[in-house]
Structure 1
Amino acid sequence: MDTLRLMHLFTRALDLGSLSAVAREAGTTQPTVSKAINALEAHLGVRLLERSTTGLLATAEGLRFHERARRLLDEYDDALADVRGHARQATGLLRVNAPVALGQFHLNALAQEFLALHPDIGIELILNDRFVDLVGDGVDVAVRLGGPLPPDAVARTIAASPRWLVAAPSYLAAHARVKRPDDLARHEFIRFAWLADGDELALQRGAEMMKVTTRGRYRVNNALAIRDSLLAGAGIGLCPQWLVHELVQAGQLARVLPAWSGTPQQVALVTPSRRYQPARARLFMDFLAARIGALPGWTSTAA
């Protein structure tokens, strides 16, 4: 039994979503592909796919096996290229997870630029503000903003963005002037939900550090919602420069206590804790490391 061939047909079936598409790609027939996957299921003793009139659906076992099989096939192809003395062209589907705002402002455009450079690579960009299970969700690269990282992952910090206190001019005109950090406690402070430090805010002015306990009736777990709330005059917030710099330039938001800033927000590329990474993931991480630090509001920290 050619197990590697069967694994390849199975992974492509799940990637493409139909047996006929795999057959066309492999230059064979749909019944041949179906028999091959049936043989793989019989060999493993588990059902990998559920067939329906609308397409293919992986079972729980099929999803787990697909993740492991895809990486094994990638490593096998890289090993062949290495022993033959040349680099294998990066191919295949790259699964990327990132926060919503960062995806909308930067990663969507960067992904299109990367795809234009690498026509044999596909990207599945999943945007949400929770930290996913890299292995369980089949993620190749997660782009994370600040915060603690899971112990079973490998992180590479590539850039940082200063964090500014900002508010709408309408809010500042209607409320008491903020002259020093302690004054923030008397204002509506809009912050990200679930922060480890809660309402405590750490600020710095050169070498001087100060902690302030803020108050606010509104918390939200989405940076775009915080930005919109600040624009609407709902309060003061601490935001990374990349999120608000153009609004400050346009006068739609104003800096509060501009001599003070928060701890810079770092962006890290996170991968599952394993020695091997497919060539497409390595290429994408190097691409992001070179590009994000050069964007407005960011400073590169990549080596």
Structure 2
Amino acid sequence: MKIDDLLLLAQVHKAGSLSEASRQLDLPKATLSRRLTALETSVGARLFVPGASRLTLTELGEQLAERAARHHDDIAETRDWLSSREATPQGRLRVAVPAEFAMLVLSESLSRFVRRYPRVELEIDTTPRRVDLFNEPYDVAVRVGPVDEPDLVARRFMLLERGLYASPVYLQARPAPQTPADLAAHDFVVMTQAKEANKRRLQNGSQTVDIDLKGPLEANSIGLVLALTRAGGGIGSFPFGMVAADLEAGTLVHVLPEWSYEPLPVHLLTASRRLMPAKTRAFIDHLFETAPEWARSGLPGLPAGYGRSG
């Protein structure tokens, strides 16, 4: 016995005739009749009174039709519920994002998201490891740096233009560098991961130069590197927008403003584009809509010469 045929029986009973049921279901009358005959065969009893002038169900047919109608209503309600969920972002949304990036770049956007979609419970996981979007319960991962997992769907979210910055306190003790070669006489506040690469490449148009990252201060947190740089510990490297407030306040100065590191991409990762829940689509759209202006263009968004030393 096919469940679909039982549901057809309920709809034929409700319509009152094969012709009307055929019209409502947009199903050929011959096909409908054949499937109802197959249902009778599978049940092993007549469901329609033979020879009646109009469609008339037997007692068993009436009972089956009434039972099937209840299931039909439940299915219709379930479809409505699913449509509602598809249209309205709701439920728990788990996002993996580097801690400092969440605090220094995304905090305002994340707060605005939950105000905008109050039925979504946003869970931010700042684990430093690369999460497995296929086998762990994460909906989105924010990746700073290149993406080398071809099975994931990666959407370019930002391009971080990174420059060199130092505090006025540090530059009072050391003359501000005028060329990349002058950096050899300066201390850096070094990100641990960057130090492992030994050298970093600065670029100015078509010109490039490799510099050594050395200094007495090293940390594996960009938030701490920023705090140490503000305190005069040395020269630090940050995305322009991350230090815009410091430049405006005068707590940091742009060093060698014509030179910068290769831009660092930021991607939003998901396991698939297909069957993406409304909450995930809404989150990704919201991040793009609320991205800082400096990240949208990949430029600092500051007046020419702003914050430059010398």
Question: For this structure pair, what is the TM-score category when the shorter chain's length is used for normalisation?
Answer: 0.5 to 0.7
Q: CA deviation at 1:241?
A: 1.2
Residue 38 of structure 2 is matched in structure 1 by none
Matches within 5 A, 1:77-96: 80=79, 88-96=87-95
Structure-1 residue corresponding to 2:70:
none
The Cα RMSD (Å) is 2.9
User: How high is the sequence identity, in percent, across the aligned residues?
Assistant: 32
Classify the secondary structure of the residue corresponding to 1:194. Answer: helix
Distance change in 2, residues 1:83/1:189 (3 Å): closer
1:194-209 equivalences under 5 Å are 194-195=193-194, 198-209=197-208
Over 3 Å counting, the alpha-carbon distance change for 1:136 and 1:179 in structure 2 is same
- 2:283 matches 1:298: no
Residue of structure 1 in register with 2:106 after alignment? 107
Secondary structure of the 2:264 match is strand
Cα distance in 2 for residues equivalent to 1:81 and 1:223: 47
Secondary structure at the counterpart of residue 149 of structure 2:
coil
Residue 169 of structure 2: aligned partner: 170
Q: TM-score, length-normalised on structure 1?
A: 0.65
User: Superposition pairs for residues 1-303 of structure 1, below 5 Å?
Assistant: 80=79, 88-195=87-194, 198-273=197-272, 275-292=274-291, 295-300=292-297
* Aligned residue in 2 for 1:4: none
User: Contact 1:158 / 1:300 at 8 angstroms: preserved in 2?
Assistant: no
Question: Is 1:168–1:254's contact at 8 Å kept on the other side of the alignment?
Answer: yes
- In structure 2, the residue matched to 1:32 is none
Q: Check whether the contact 1:159–1:266 (CA below 8 A) recurs between aligned residues.
A: yes
CA deviation digits over 1:24-72, x for unaligned, max 9?
Answer: xxxxxxxxxxxxxxxxxxxxxxxxxxxxxxxxxxxxxxxxxxxxxxxxx
Tell me if the contact between 2:93 and 2:280 (Cα under 8 Å) persists in the aligned partners: yes
Alignment-mate amino acid for residue 269 of structure 2: V
CA distance in 1, matches of 2:160, 2:235: 19
Give the Cα separation in 2 of the matches to 1:276 and 1:269: 17
SS at structure 2 position matched to 1:139: coil
Contact 1:129 1:222 in 2 (8 A): no
Q: Given that residues 157 and 269 in structure 1 are in contact (C-alpha distance below 8 angstroms), is that contact kept between their aligned partners in structure 2?
A: yes
Q: Which structure is higher in strand share?
A: 1
Contact 1:81 1:87 in 2 (8 A): no
C-alpha distance in 2, partners of 1:136/1:183?
Answer: 49
Identify if the C-alpha distance between structure 1 residues 89 and 148 changes in structure 2 by more than 3 Å, giving closer, same or farther: closer
Report Cα offsets for 1:175-206 as digits up to 9, x if no partner: 24412112222221222222397121111112
Which structure's CA Rg is the greater one?
A: 2
- What letter matches 2:250 in structure 1? G
Which amino acid in structure 1 is aligned with residue 295 of structure 2? Answer: W
Q: How big is each residue's C-alpha offset from its partner over 1:124-154, in whole Å with a ceiling of 9 and x where there is no partner?
A: 1122443333344411111122244434422
Q: Aligned partners of 1:184, 1:204: CA distance in 2, in Å?
A: 14
| Further displaced range: 251-260 or 276-285 | 276-285
* Gap regions ≥5 residues in structure 2: 1-77, 299-310
